[in-house]
Chain A
Amino acid sequence: MFTKLTRPLFLMMLPVLIITCTFLLIPMFRLVVISISGEDGLMIYWHALSDARYLQSLLDTLFLSVLVTLVTLAIAVISGLFLSRNHFPGKSVLISLLTFPLAFPGVVVGFLVIMLGGRQGLSAELGLFLDDTRWTFAYSIVGLFVGYIYFSIPRVLLTVIAAVEKMDMMLEEAARSLGASRLRVFIDVIIPALKPALIASGAICFATSMGAFGTAFALASGINVMPMTIYTEFTLGANIAMAASLSIILGLITWLVLLLARSVSGANTSPAA
């Protein structure tokens, strides 16, 4: 026996729809319109992708984000496998410490990189001690790389740990009992089993790196990553059309990568802070 449910469903959605339309859809639409309403029209996208300065910025950002993603994945797989397969006292504290920086905003991460590699940082002190020169890396692309790795590790590590815990140990044991070496098991059993999680968290890591603004802002390095270029175009150059078109290009790249990862891995992908 069924009771017919009366539910004012649409009404439940209304507040979010109003918010999304007023503050997301209309503004994003206007952003597209503004980007092509300059004197160049649609050609502005050609400029954005062919002008040496913008192209360099885009390529630098892509290179940095891809590299950060690969290195973070490698770190997360090594530590994630270790942390979920072994039991030792203090393990949960270790995991908490590794994931605590998850919520740090980019500017704080930038400041922490200065603490490590700035003019008065740890590596400068170490350099003074060892060969009388201050070793600094904070204000170069290395500083950006270190910062991006810093904020990427907690996110990716958590996903990898969760994925390893869901893995079927039987497969590995079967492979081992059939005489497969550790390396073979790793390549043929563990990596394929983790692939969906790696693709999903890798895509999130990539998208977060592409859009990261705070770290580059705090480090004020010579490297103009895309978000910095957009910010400079908007505030210093007052070139709103170019800032808009660069944002749209950047947004399209991150959105497409996340979409692609989701269709390949079938997992939830959404970047956090």
Chain B
Amino acid sequence: MKRTLSYYLQLSFTLLICAFMLVPVLMSMTAGLTNNYFQGLSSGLTLRWVEEVMALYSDTLWLTLKLALATLLVNLIAGVPAAYFLACSTSRWARVFEELILLPVAIPGLAIALALIIVYGGVQDLRTSWLFILIGHVLYTLPFMVRAVLAVLHSIDLKLLEEGAASLGAGFLRRFFDVIIPNCKGGIISGALMTLTLSVAEFNLTWMLHTPMTKTLPVGLADSYASMRLEISSAYTLIFLVLLLPLMIGTQWVGANTQKKQLSPSKPRHASLGKNDEH
């Protein structure tokens, strides 16, 4: 293929954008690993700042992981059956429920957090517990889980599969666990990855809902940006990026796999529906 001037212009533009996305990340990563950022790399590399962050903020790391896993658990128990209901039900209420579940993605997190504090902020035991943040995270991530599973359920002939199983004598629970769940595994996995990623990186809601005893990693980051030296903030950001990395790689891997399946002719329509939901 002939490469024209416009090809090179577009390539340089895209590379420029890529540099814009990448350079500050790399700067922050080096800053977290250098002895003195203002003297530059010549001052030597060190893990001192990373260690200092772990000493100061390791509890935020554990809380973040605990929250992400708990959010995932709730989403699996509540979200997957809800998606099944939305896929099967033809009643008008199903559409209303669907809108309702999706509401938290359309309303800024700050507003939801404010509403939660107004109603439940007075209940001291809940307000000071990590469960208060869990509520926020579940509200915020549930729509993504439900839609990821729903997209897959829409793409398979649910009725046919279930009727087949039922005619062989399978009861409802048997069908749900042995037929439906294995069939929407892809949606559950991508919904789960999204839940973990969103929960780990959530700030808007969490900042409002946290207490000094319940700080998550992004909350701790905001704290360190405001009060710590640049090297510590950077080292802390580095730890956060390391935590995010496997989730991002997993998401891309699942995305690439879905795309491959879409390209193969045997896969039925609708598989593309899931695509928008992934991001």
A interface residue numbers (CB < 8 A to B): 1-3, 5-13, 15-17, 19-20, 23-28, 30-31, 34, 75, 78-79, 81-83, 86, 88, 94, 96-108, 110-116, 120, 122, 150, 153-155, 158-159, 162, 166, 182, 200, 207, 210-214, 217-218, 220, 227, 230-231, 234, 240, 243-244, 247-248, 250-251, 254-255, 258-259, 267-268, 270-273
The reply to whether B248 and A27 form a contact with Cβ atoms under 8 Å apart is no
The reply to whether A251 and B252 form a contact with Cβ atoms under 8 Å apart is no
Among B22, B78, B240, chain A packs the most CB atoms within 10 A around the CB of B78
The reply to whether B28 and A112 form a contact with Cβ atoms under 8 Å apart is yes
The reply to whether B116 and A27 form a contact with Cβ atoms under 8 Å apart is yes
The reply to whether A104 and B110 form a contact with Cβ atoms under 8 Å apart is no
The reply to whether A20 and B100 form a contact with Cβ atoms under 8 Å apart is yes
The reply to whether A217 and B27 form a contact with Cβ atoms under 8 Å apart is no
Interface size class of B (residues with CB under 8 A): 35 or more
B168 to A, closest residue via Cβ? A3
Q: Does B59 contact A (CB under 8 A)?
A: no
The reply to whether B115 and A102 form a contact with Cβ atoms under 8 Å apart is no
How far does the Cβ of B272 sit from chain A's closest Cβ, in whole Å?
7
Q: Given A83-B14, A107-B203, verify A27-B119 contact (CB < 8 Å).
A: yes
Q: Given A19-B78, A79-B14, verify A254-B108 contact (CB < 8 Å).
A: yes
B230 to A, closest residue via Cβ? A120
Residues of A within 8 A of B252 (CB): 96, 99
The reply to whether A13 and B97 form a contact with Cβ atoms under 8 Å apart is yes
Q: Given A12-B82, A28-B115, A211-B110, verify A110-B225 contact (CB < 8 Å).
A: yes
Among A2, A27, A182, A243, chain B packs the most CB atoms within 10 A around the CB of A27
Q: Given A19-B78, A25-B100, A166-B272, verify A159-B21 contact (CB < 8 Å).
A: no
The reply to whether B81 and A12 form a contact with Cβ atoms under 8 Å apart is yes
Among B38, B108, B275, chain A packs the most CB atoms within 10 A around the CB of B108
Residues of B within 8 A of A11 (CB): 81
Q: Tell me which of B17, B138, B247 contacts A98 (CB under 8 A).
A: B17
Q: Given A9-B85, A26-B119, A100-B248, verify A15-B78 contact (CB < 8 Å).
A: yes
B196 to A, closest residue via Cβ? A103
The reply to whether B203 and A24 form a contact with Cβ atoms under 8 Å apart is no
Q: Does B104 contact A (CB under 8 A)?
A: yes
Q: What mask results when residues 160 to 202 of chain B are scored 1 for a CB within 8 Å of chain A, else 0?
A: 0011001100001000000000000000000000100110111
A contact face: mostly helix, strand, loop, or mixed: helix
Report how far A96 CA is from B105 CA in the complex, Å: 25
Residues of B within 8 A of A258 (CB): 106
Q: Tell me which of A101, A106, A212, A247 contacts B111 (CB under 8 A).
A: A247
Q: Given A12-B82, A19-B78, A25-B100, verify A108-B221 contact (CB < 8 Å).
A: yes
A25 to B, closest residue via Cβ? B100
Residues of A within 8 A of B108 (CB): 210-211, 213, 227, 247, 250-251, 254
B interface residue numbers (CB < 8 A to A): 6-7, 10-11, 13-15, 17-18, 20-25, 27-28, 31, 37-38, 74, 77-79, 81-82, 84-86, 88-89, 97, 100-112, 114-116, 118-120, 135, 138-139, 142-144, 146-147, 159, 162-163, 166-167, 172, 194, 197-198, 200-204, 207-208, 218, 221-222, 225-226, 230, 233, 237, 240, 244, 247-248, 252, 272-273, 275-277, 279
B contact face: mostly helix, strand, loop, or mixed: helix
* 23 A–B contacts, CB within 8 A, in A order: A13-B82, A16-B81, A78-B14, A79-B10, A79-B17, A81-B10, A82-B7, A100-B248, A102-B248, A112-B28, A120-B37, A122-B24, A122-B27, A211-B111, A213-B110, A214-B222, A227-B108, A243-B114, A251-B108, A258-B106, A267-B276, A268-B273, A272-B198
The reply to whether B106 and A150 form a contact with Cβ atoms under 8 Å apart is no
The reply to whether A9 and B204 form a contact with Cβ atoms under 8 Å apart is no
Residues of A within 8 A of B38 (CB): 120
Report how far A16 CA is from B138 CA in the complex, Å: 10
Report how far A207 CA is from B277 CA in the complex, Å: 16
The reply to whether A30 and B139 form a contact with Cβ atoms under 8 Å apart is no
The reply to whether A24 and B103 form a contact with Cβ atoms under 8 Å apart is yes
The reply to whether A153 and B21 form a contact with Cβ atoms under 8 Å apart is yes
Report how far A12 CA is from B20 CA in the complex, Å: 46
The reply to whether B221 and A255 form a contact with Cβ atoms under 8 Å apart is no
Report how far A105 CA is from B203 CA in the complex, Å: 6
The reply to whether A16 and B79 form a contact with Cβ atoms under 8 Å apart is yes
How far does the Cβ of B86 sit from chain A's closest Cβ, in whole Å?
8
Residues of A within 8 A of B163 (CB): 2-3, 5
Q: Tell me which of B118, B201, B207 contacts A27 (CB under 8 A).
A: B118
Residues of A within 8 A of B194 (CB): 272
